[in-house]
Structure 1
């Protein structure tokens, strides 16, 4: 074995031990005390980061269940990005893939983890509101509403924004929970619970752009509302509110 190959084998053995000391023996000739320092340092860096990224989930699970999940992730997951913040998304995906495999898994585990990850994702998103070409004075009811690139429309089976150590529902409500999660001009991530009409409007603005008037009329038809004009009028107030929150930025500039 060449010196380079021997060094690589030693590094792989050392890394495997750091990930899962119980399953992988330590390299020979390294003092146990020093090994423990490294084991604790690496694990605590990952655990502290994830605890900060998922504070509600961390409190709900408690010490034993939380550390069991983090250690399983730490030992078995192979990160696909060198960016530390990307580890939060990978942990949320890991929890979703394994949801229900433990008897103490709360039924809302995967959705709560996703909801908490979204905040970090928007905080590090490199898009900027002011980079979007819009007419800030345009009327979104008469023109094509322009959305901020920093808004996500989310639908959950569980009321994830209300879940806490003191509120842990065991049965999902009959109706979905719709949330707008967005970053405003002050770079503050905010959350807004909305109804199905607002969620549908956001979907249509993104997928089938048209004037606010036309979109609200379409929604009224989909709802089979007996008074479509009231739905359209309500849309004007809704778009004005979304505009005040930096969710709607004005109207699209036409080429």
Structure 2
């Protein structure tokens, strides 16, 4: 059933009032009653974001947090109908509008991203690994990777330091968030640049450790390779221990 133009206009005006609080006059309504609708809807948004971003709430003043909620509620047209996904749009909104600069908290965008990624990994659909074997050669064989992960880049190490302290350690940081296959907990691993390179080539390109070492060897000084190989051997061992690397891929021959 289609709305009449008048009904649609009233609906739009009511929605604008709920989101912005701008004064309007709607026939056959009571101002006090209208305020309750706005209060309830704003509270839903506020509570959703507080649950998603507890660290951000703790480091922002009440005024700063209220500004984010009010501006998001009034100015952002949600792209999802699923409430649990709204925090991602909130993170994008805050980043795009540069509130970190406004509030003199340059790490704010990274902090929201860090907190969101835990939700994202926790709620992501199950990713079933390909059949794999437990025993193999960690250098020669192709490794089966736990597919339930996200890898993000941060400029402020909010995962390593308190938010305010992270301002003193700007750089390029790579954070791997993954779901442990045994207990489904979301865990985090800080990866240096070299380990990030190896992880992406193993996970995305299906290359073996030896394949990657060969590529690096062609572009690096031979004197550096023994230390790099030792470093990577320890990295691979750690990734297996943490259940990020699960086993070795089966190679089927025709």
TM-score normalised by structure 1 residue count: 0.87
Q: Structure 2: how far apart are the matches of 1:105 and 1:29?
A: 46
For 1:140-179, list aligned pairs within 5 A: 140-164=138-162, 167-173=164-170, 175-179=171-175
Count of aligned pairs between the two proteins: 249
Q: Which residue of 2 aligns with 1:48?
A: 47
Q: Does 1:30 align with 2:29?
A: yes
Q: Distance in 1 between matches of 2:201 and 2:194?
A: 11
Aligned-pair CA distance for 1:24? 4.7
Task: Give SS of 2:187's match.
Answer: strand
SS of residue paired to 2:102: coil
Q: Deviations over 1:139-171 (max 9, x none)?
A: 332211222111222221111213536x34445
Residue 4 of structure 1: aligned partner: 4
Question: 1:206 Cα deviation (Å)?
Answer: 3.1
Correspondence for 1:184 among 165, 176, 180: 180
Distance 2:135 2:214 in 1: 19
1:172 deviation in Å? 4.6
Q: Deviations over 1:46-65 (max 9, x none)?
A: 11111111111111112100
1-structure distance, mates of 2:61, 2:35: 24
Match of 2:196 among 196, 199, 217: 199
User: Any residues of structure 2 matched to 1:31-180 within 5 Å, and which?
Assistant: 31-99=30-98, 103-128=102-127, 131-139=128-136, 140-164=138-162, 167-173=164-170, 175-180=171-176
Distance 1:220 1:195 in 2: 19
Question: Could you list the runs of 5+ residues in structure 2 that have no partner in the other structure?
Answer: none
3-state DSSP of counterpart to 1:193: strand
CA distance in 1, matches of 2:93, 2:45: 14
Secondary structure (helix, strand or coil) at the match of 1:29 reads coil
Q: Where does residue 213 of structure 1 map in the other structure? A: 210
* Match in the other structure for 1:14: 14
Moved more, 27-36 or 119-128: 27-36
Shift, 1:220, TM fit: 5.2
Cα deviation, 1:78-121, whole Å, max 9, x if unaligned, reads 11111112211111111111115863241112121111111111
Tell me, what secondary structure is at the counterpart of 2:248? Answer: strand
RMSD: 2.3
